[in-house]
Amino acid sequence: MKNNFYNKSLISIKSVSKEDSLYIFEMADKLKNEVIKKGKTNDLEGKILAALCYEPSSRTFSSFITAIQRLGGGFIPLNGMEYTSVDKGETISDTAKVFSSYADIIVLRHPVVGSVSEFAKSATVPVINAGDGSREHPTQAFLDSYTIGKHFKSFENITVGLVGDLLYGRTVHSLSLLLSKLGVKKFIFISPDLLKMPPEIVSGLKMLNCEITESESLDSSIGNMDIIYMTRVQKERFSDILVYEKYKLAYILNKSLMQKAKSSSIVLHPLPRVGEILEEIDSDPRALYFREEMRNGLYVRMAIIKSILIQ
Ligand code: NCD
C-alpha cells in the first residue's frame, strides 16, 4: 500500500481516500503489537512533535504526546496558549513560523473554523488538525472508524447512528465523511432541529449514494443502529447559554434505551460526556468509549504521525 501522508498536513477528511485509511489502520495494528510487546519503538528517534491547544483538550493532547514518546520522539507540550506569545498578540502565521523552527510536526487545536489551514500555510512542517472550531476533527474520525472496523466484518452493511449536537460537533462531521468513503451506506442522524447536521455534509453524503434518515427521536431509531455514536452538546459554541441549557440533555442514553438496541450494536463517544450517557451504561459490553475507543486513539495517532514523518 502507498503512503500518501508523507510530508503532508492532515487538515480535512476530504483529502483522504479509503486506501489511505486502510493504510493507517494496518499500521495502527502493527504499532499496537509493538507497544504491547515492548512499550515503544524507536521509529521517530530525533523527531519532535509540538502540540498546541488553543482550546481545552484531554484525550487528543495526551494521546499525541504519548504517541510521539512511544515512537521514540520528543515533544513541545502546550495545552493552553496563555503563557506563550499568543497572549501578547502574536499572529497565527507568526506562531506557525516559530514552532516550525523547533518541531518536525505540529498538532494544532484552535476554536476558529479554518484556522488550522491558515496556520498550515505559514508553517514549514506538516500540521495535523486536532479540531478547528466546529468544522473537523480528522484524527478522531480515523480512531472511531478503526474501532468500528474491529467490530464489524465490513463497513457496507452497517447502519451508523450519530446522536446529539450534529451542527457544532466536529467529530461527527469528519466521521460521517470518512465512514462514507469506507463504504457505509446508511446513516441515522438524531438531533434537535436546531442542531441538525449541516446541509452541505448531508448533501455530500447523498452524492456518495448514502441513505440518510434524520429524526429527533432516539427512542424510535435506536433499534436500527449498529453504531450508537453519542456526542456532547458543544456548550462553547452557543452565544446564548439559555439555548444551550435547553438542549444540553436532549438525549440521555440509559438502560431502558439500551434494551431496545441490538445486542450486536456498539456505543461510542469521543468524550468528554456531560450527562448524555449515564454511568449505568459503562459496564454494558456494548459500551466501548472507555474500553477501546480511547486506547485506539493512541495507536491510530502513532500511525498518523509515523506516516507523515517517514516515507
Ligand atoms: C471532542 C472534540 O474536542 O471535538 N473531544 C475529543 O477530541 N475527544 C468532542 C467534544 O469535545 O465534545
* pLDDT tens digits for range 137-157: 999 999 999 999 999 999 999
Does the Cβ of 140 fall within 6 Å of ligand 1?
A: yes
Q: Has residue 240 got a pLDDT over 90?
A: yes
Write the residue with the smallest CA distance to atom 6 of ligand 1. Answer: 270
Please tell me the predicted confidence (pLDDT) of residue 164. Answer: 98
Please tell me the predicted confidence (pLDDT) of residue 250. Answer: 97
Q: Give me the mean pLDDT over the 220-241 stretch.
A: 98
Nearest to 265 by CA among 294, 309, 217, 223: 223
Distance of CA 5 to CAs 9, 14, 100, 213, Å? 8, 13, 18, 33
**Alpha-helix residue ranges (DSSP H) falling in the chain:** 18-38, 59-70, 92-102, 115-122, 138-149, 170-182, 199-207, 241-247, 255-260, 294-309
Distance of CA 18 to CAs 13, 130, 134, 211, 307, Å? 10, 20, 24, 19, 16
Write the residue with the smallest CA distance to atom 1 of ligand 1. Answer: 270
Task: Using pLDDT thresholds of 50, 70 and 90, give the confidence band for residue 1.
Answer: confident
Distance of CA 257 to CAs 29, 38, 217, 224, 297, Å? 33, 41, 11, 12, 27
The lowest-confidence range among 1-5, 64-68, 171-175, 305-309 is 1-5
Q: Has residue 234 got a pLDDT over 90?
A: yes
- Express each pLDDT in 20-69 by its tens digit: 999 999 999 999 999 999 999 999 999 999 999 999 999 999 999 999 99
Does the Cβ of 138 fall within 6 Å of ligand 1?
A: no
Cell 495502527 found at: 28
CA distance linking residue 222 with residue 244, whole number of Å: 24
Q: Give me the mean pLDDT over the 246-271 stretch.
A: 98
Of the residues 137, 147, 288, which should be mutated to test ligand 1's pocket, given the most ligand atoms within 8 Å of the CB? Answer: 137
CA 13 / ligand 1 centre spacing (Å): 16
Q: Has residue 200 got a pLDDT over 90?
A: yes
